[in-house]
Structure 1
Amino acid sequence: MANTGKKNIRHLSLSELETYFEELGEKKFRTRQVYEWIWQKHAHSFEAMTNLSKELRQKLADNFSLPALGVGATQYSADGTVKSRFKTVDGHAVEGVLIPTDERKTACVSSQIGCSLSCKFCATGYMERKRNLDYDEIYDEVVLINQQSERVYNKKLTNIVFMGMGEPLLNYKNVLKAIEKITDPNGGLAMSPRRITVSTAGVAKMIRQLGEDQVRFKLALSLHAANDQKRNEIMPINETNNLKALIDAMNFFYKATGNEITFEYILFKDFNDSLKDADELIRIYRQVPADLVNIIEYNPIDKAAFMKPDENAVQAFMQYLEKHRVNARLRRSRGKDIDAACGQLANKEVQVG
């Protein structure tokens, strides 16, 4: 973050804010007013806090910073998907996506600037990880995408998925704190945790931590290969978090929380799309109380040699899963024409007309 020498006011708890106003000799209700401006009205400057005196607004500006994400560029897909490049106060870019359907308006948000996991099929995996996003920056992503949804579709967000740039469980504290703010019934978003899904490439220790922390949101595992040899090849994290460790961790998570678990499985031509691969996927599915397997269309990227399977192979794979009573859904990609689909977020320079 840009160092102004001032503490970010959004990093103060309600009691810390209260102490500050007490020391100023201000009335107690000022705490609530400022807190509402920050977390309910989403003020991005002290000047915007119009029910405070000019003198008090100046004192706040002298003592605190109020950094906020800005929207650097927005792209609109032919299918209605909206991708935004957000700018941080220290000059980084991070992408978020609004995915609309008739029933849902979903925000796909990022948790890191870049990624350290180097998954071979993912554009973000070829970027350097610059830093974690702070919880207020993640919160801002959701606020800004919600505003887009209201503006473009006249509807509020219904769902949030942590499936953008970065590995959420390697930014554990900020992701959980952001979700706490997003789900606060007294906040400006007040989203139900049951409408939030955190997706992980597979950090077994932190999946267990989610269980210990009794989180209330859903968990998705980006599986993409159902044996260790293939998974090691495309997802280096599997070398230290193998499938057995992940299966044990997910069972622990489910036993501790009862929350929904989903598997994500991208089909790659001649790599993981055979019926033998489907058999291996079924074996893993039966070892975990998963609600669903999302079979995902691959979206080719410049740096990877993977290809999308032909439609016959996709249908054969789906039919095989269905025959073996796997609750599987084929997820067609959205926003491919603006590089907003699964695995395509990479902060490409764009020309916006």
Structure 2
Amino acid sequence: MTTTTNTDTKTDLKSLTKRELQSFCEELGLQSYRSDQIFQWLYQKGVSSFDEMTNLSKDLRSRLADLATVNRIEKVHHQQSKDGTMKFLFELQDEEKHKVESVLIPDFFPDGAPNRLTVCVSSQVGCVFGCSFCATGKMGFFRNLTHGEIVDQVQYINELCLEKYDKQVTNIVYMGMGEPLHNYQSVVESAAILTDEHGLDLSPKRITVSTVGLTKQIKKLAEERQPFNLAISLHAANDEKRDEIMPINNSMNLEQLKEAVTYYYHQLHRPITYEYLLFDEFNDTVEDARELAEIVHWVPSKVNIIMYNDVAGVKLKRAREQRLDQFMQELISHDVTATVRRSRGDDIDAGCGQLAIKEGQKGKTISKN
């Protein structure tokens, strides 16, 4: 697999999977350990040139430079919220100079020491699914990210965490721009890199991939026994309301989602997390809570109730506290394990559903299947 530009036909090493990198090195007649060294420089140390790979000979570095490149996204700027959340704008190394956003959500112990350092990572430029409440969906769709571009986001933020907190990133959630399972291969390859001992060496239990409910891909995760956690962006507990805010439900409804989730659990015996944005006087009634409880009991699962961050041009608004309390009480009465995720970073548009690049060209339309 190679990436090319109008002026460059060299192999971008960060477009290769680990196995492809091994094959690339074998074709050059290199010893097998060299591919591990290069992989480590790319994905653990985050270098952007062969000159930085100091445990390779000068001759080998020169040879690699003649044949290959190391493309890396560039950080344009970042903002910090009053609650400590940080939003990053990255520019991709493509002809169009597309941009994506990522978010760091720090959590601290009572004494102020860093506890969890969670990165919300993007997998696409824009999104094709057009959920009515989501700023990213209003951008249109531009393209998928490569696995290298996904890992780069984490690497940049990890470098900041080490400098600022003296601690590396602890958790990764694929809940930024785009639908992760619509870019299935790059997402699973990036997760494999991030959990590799020569990568960030994270536990798969520290990685969560979210989806609006792509049923074929959910089943594929199960068949391939992918080791990370799965979250379903549900946001409504019946087809009528879900159709209204999530177009995907017209082609993949709750009955189909139930089949996929059941298959996933029976294959992996791993619980599901449901993400549920609570909208005022739309999906926050006692009856909504009862319907949500039925879904949560399809297989062992839990639900994160997310307090919505208002998005310009969207009529749906964050539920009021009284309605949240009633909703939670009803869930608890039905033995549902539920937590409330409070707004983080909404003052810098870094909250759930708020990520969007406001400038850019018209997005492409591609298949949602």
Residue type matched to 2:174 in 1? F
- Superposed CA offset, 1:168-207 (max 9, x none): 11111111111111111x2130111111110000101111
Q: Percent identity?
A: 47
Helix, strand or coil for the counterpart of 1:161? Answer: strand
In the alignment, structure 1 residue 312 sits paired with structure 2 residue 316:
no
Shift of 1:2: 6.0
Q: 1:301 is matched with which residue: 311, 316, 340?
A: 311
* Aligned position for 1:93: 99
Q: How many residues matched? A: 344
Q: 2:279 is matched with which residue: 244, 259, 268?
A: 268
* Aligned position for 1:106: 118
In the alignment, structure 1 residue 137 sits paired with structure 2 residue 141:
no
TM-score (norm 1): 0.93
- Structure 2 Cα separation of the partners of residues 331 and 39 of structure 1: 31
1:19-98 to 2 correspondence within 5 Å?
19-22=26-29, 30-90=34-94, 91-98=97-104
Task: Tell which deviates more after alignment, 260-269 or 318-327.
Answer: 318-327
- Superposed CA offset, 1:18-50 (max 9, x none): 32331xxx6665444333322332211112123
- Structure 2 Cα separation of the partners of residues 28 and 254 of structure 1: 38
- Structure 2 Cα separation of the partners of residues 238 and 194 of structure 1: 28
- Structure 1 Cα separation of the partners of residues 12 and 90 of structure 2: 19
- Structure 2 Cα separation of the partners of residues 130 and 322 of structure 1: 42
In the alignment, structure 1 residue 117 sits paired with structure 2 residue 129:
yes
- Structure 2 Cα separation of the partners of residues 154 and 36 of structure 1: 21
Residue type matched to 1:259 in 2? R
* Aligned position for 2:363: none
- Superposed CA offset, 1:82-116 (max 9, x none): 11011110111011111111231111101111000
Residue type matched to 2:23 in 1? E
* Aligned position for 2:367: none
- Superposed CA offset, 1:215-260 (max 9, x none): 1111100000000011011000001110010011011111111223
Q: 2:182 is matched with which residue: 136, 145, 170?
A: 170
Asked if 2 retains the 8 angstrom alpha-carbon contact of 1:217 and 1:259, the reply is: no
- Structure 2 Cα separation of the partners of residues 210 and 229 of structure 1: 28
Task: Tell which deviates more after alignment, 307-316 or 336-345.
Answer: 307-316
Residue type matched to 2:105 in 1? I
TM-score (norm 2): 0.89
> Structure 1: 5+ residue runs without aligned partners?
none
Task: Tell which deviates more after alignment, 28-37 or 191-200.
Answer: 28-37
In the alignment, structure 1 residue 247 sits paired with structure 2 residue 254:
no
Q: 1:236 is matched with which residue: 220, 223, 247?
A: 247
Moved over 6 A (4+): none
In the alignment, structure 1 residue 5 sits paired with structure 2 residue 17:
no
Residue type matched to 1:211 in 2? A
- Superposed CA offset, 1:36-78 (max 9, x none): 3223322111121233344432322221121111111101111
Residue type matched to 2:268 in 1? T
Shift of 1:146: 1.4
Residue type matched to 1:179 in 2? A
Asked if 2 retains the 8 angstrom alpha-carbon contact of 1:86 and 1:95, the reply is: yes
- Structure 2 Cα separation of the partners of residues 14 and 158 of structure 1: 27
- Structure 2 Cα separation of the partners of residues 139 and 33 of structure 1: 17
* Aligned position for 1:156: 168
